[in-house]
Chain A
Amino acid sequence: MTTGTTTQSAAAVMLDDFLWRAALAGTAVALAAGPLGCFVVWRRMAYFGDATAHAAILGVALSLGFSISVFIGVLITALAMAFMILSFSGRVFTVDTLLGVAAHGGLALGLVAVTFIPGVRVDLVAYLFGDILAVGHTDLLVISAGSAAILVALWLRWERLLLLTLNVDLAAARGIDTRRENMILTVMLAVLVAVAIKIVGALLITAMLIIPAATARPISRTPERMAVIAVTVGVLAVAAGLSASFYWDMPTGPSIVTAATVLFAVASLFSLSRIKSLH
């Protein structure tokens, strides 16, 4: 390169490059989504993640309407949605039905609400499918902080959350406050939705949680191994998706999810052939 950046440090140059910021932001999300996604898969919360993520569009509309940070707006609606589902589930409707209503109702309400925002036309596509290449310095900071918080919380409560996932009563007998741990897991999910919406968009956030974890499942023997492999898959998918997007001008969010899906297919075929060869 022949640009005059000799006075700047290498790190500053790197962060100035939108592609590097995108790569770092994507990696940060993949690091947190890997282990958190394992819990989503183990606890069959895929649809729960969807509902929370779709409600995020309503959060986007609210943030723009009240001119507050999109991160905060999305975090609040994602949290509100998650706790609403938790407290209503099992009363009249099954969780499944309730989530179906919440996911699509939230999304539709958000899409409608956005049209009422006066002034600038909002580019909703960026929030539906992500706009990782537009990640700024502040975004990168918020995404990294959110992901780090999730990772630290998971690290500290790993054994507790595993016990809770296996059997609620077993966790209670061990003196674990099961309601509190459930709530913390829900908050973590909402934080991830809030930081990931910029990367892959509301429609594909659940994919970042589930596909890496599902890819890791057939090639793991312990929960920890599964989490580590899920992180690896997520990071690889971000790298591959970004590259594809850069060289072939493909939409970045969908490219990342496509890359993850390809890895899933490869891992599944690999384990299938291994099972066959055993017989």
Chain B
Amino acid sequence: MSLIKAQGLGVRIGARQILRDVNLSVRKREIVTVVGPNGSGKTTLLRVLIGAQTSSEGAVVREAGLKIGYVPQRLAIDQAMPLTVARWLALSGTKDRNRHLRIAGQVGISGLLKQQMSSLSGGEFQRALLAEALLVRPDLLVLDEPTQGLDQPAVASFYKLIEGVRDDIGCAVLMVSHDLHVVMRSSDHVICLNGHVCCQGTPTLVSAAPEYQALFGFDTEGALALYRHRHDHRHDHAERGGSDAG
């Protein structure tokens, strides 16, 4: 039984075909991760699934009464709007103060409730966003690159937090991520996207797939290095870029 399902999804914006023939489904308690290069339509896919963008072809089928907790890629809180963390959490629509305190404790922002959202650090801010999404009592948590701009330890602890939350409240998780090594460890299902679904399956299956390796520029050795030497890989990219220019 799927919580949400995309069937033959296509999105065309102007003359550009952003997505075509995307099929995917997220089941209860499952962690599904979408990976893909920049401009591969990851954010568009999430936006169609949450109902923020209409599709040109295909359909999205949601379980009746599906509650979605969404953490957007960027949330720029304008300096013009005063907003304490407590007030932000109240926007979830949950009035229960005890639940606010419990979730705030769970994501580690208990001491920040009276702070202004604009005064939080990057990691604190992401946790505050996650807390609000959790207060919605979601069946499905949708996260769009939730660890953008965080340093390595913060990224690791954020994913640990998400896994813990999934086990605790039993929601499914659908996320877009660039943190390939972490994704491969903590996902149940990985979807490799580049305008269409290149390949999908368990992390081991996907990381061995030639489509995936072609997309991220790994050779067979690189696929192994994926787990351990992500930094080397990135560095390698930069060097290649440099020598190309020279």
- How far is the CB of B48 from the nearest CB of chain A, in Å? 10
Q: Which residues of A contact B50 (CB under 8 A)?
A: 169, 172-173
- How far is the CB of A225 from the nearest CB of chain B, in Å? 7
- How far is the CB of A158 from the nearest CB of chain B, in Å? 10
Residue from the set A41, A168, A174 with the largest chain B CB neighbour count within 10 Å: A174
For the side of the interface on A, what is the size category? 20 to 34
| Cβ proximity bits B76-97 to A, threshold 8 Å, 1 near / 0 not | 0110111110010001010000
The residue in chain B whose Cβ has the minimal distance to the Cβ of A220 is B82
A-B contact count (CB 8 A): 60
B70 at the interface (CB under 8 A from A): yes
The residue in chain B whose Cβ has the minimal distance to the Cβ of A218 is B82
- How far is the CB of A212 from the nearest CB of chain B, in Å? 13
Determine, out of A127-135, A159-167, A182-190, the stretch whose residues face the partner at the interface. A159-167
For the side of the interface on B, what is the size category? 20 to 34
A20 at the interface (CB under 8 A from B): no
A223 at the interface (CB under 8 A from B): yes
The 8 Å CB contact of B51, one of A165, A173, A225, is A173
| Cβ proximity bits A145-175 to B, threshold 8 Å, 1 near / 0 not | 0000000000000010011011111101111
A169/B72 in contact, CB under 8 A = yes
A166/B77 in contact, CB under 8 A = yes
Dominant SS among interface residues on chain B: loop
- How far is the CB of B102 from the nearest CB of chain A, in Å? 21
B87/A217 in contact, CB under 8 A = no
The residue in chain B whose Cβ has the minimal distance to the Cβ of A225 is B82
The 8 Å CB contact of A223, one of B51, B69, B87, is B87
B142 at the interface (CB under 8 A from A): yes
A167/B80 contact (C-beta < 8 A), A173-B50, A175-B51 known: no
A42/B91 contact (C-beta < 8 A), A169-B47, A175-B51, A221-B116 known: no
B136 at the interface (CB under 8 A from A): yes
- How far is the CB of A249 from the nearest CB of chain B, in Å? 37
B214 at the interface (CB under 8 A from A): no
B13 at the interface (CB under 8 A from A): no
B245 at the interface (CB under 8 A from A): no
A222/B78 contact (C-beta < 8 A), A169-B70, A172-B52 known: no
- How far is the CB of A49 from the nearest CB of chain B, in Å? 14
A169/B80 contact (C-beta < 8 A), A159-B93, A163-B91, A223-B87 known: no
Q: Which residues of B contact A44 (CB under 8 A)?
A: 78, 80
B68 at the interface (CB under 8 A from A): yes
A178 at the interface (CB under 8 A from B): yes
Q: Which of B's residues lie within 8 Å of A, judged by CB?
A: 47, 50-52, 68-70, 72, 75, 77-78, 80-84, 87, 91, 93, 116, 136, 142
Q: Return 13 A-B CB contacts under 8 Å, by A number.
A: A44-B80, A159-B91, A159-B93, A163-B91, A166-B75, A167-B75, A169-B50, A169-B52, A172-B52, A173-B52, A173-B68, A173-B70, A226-B82
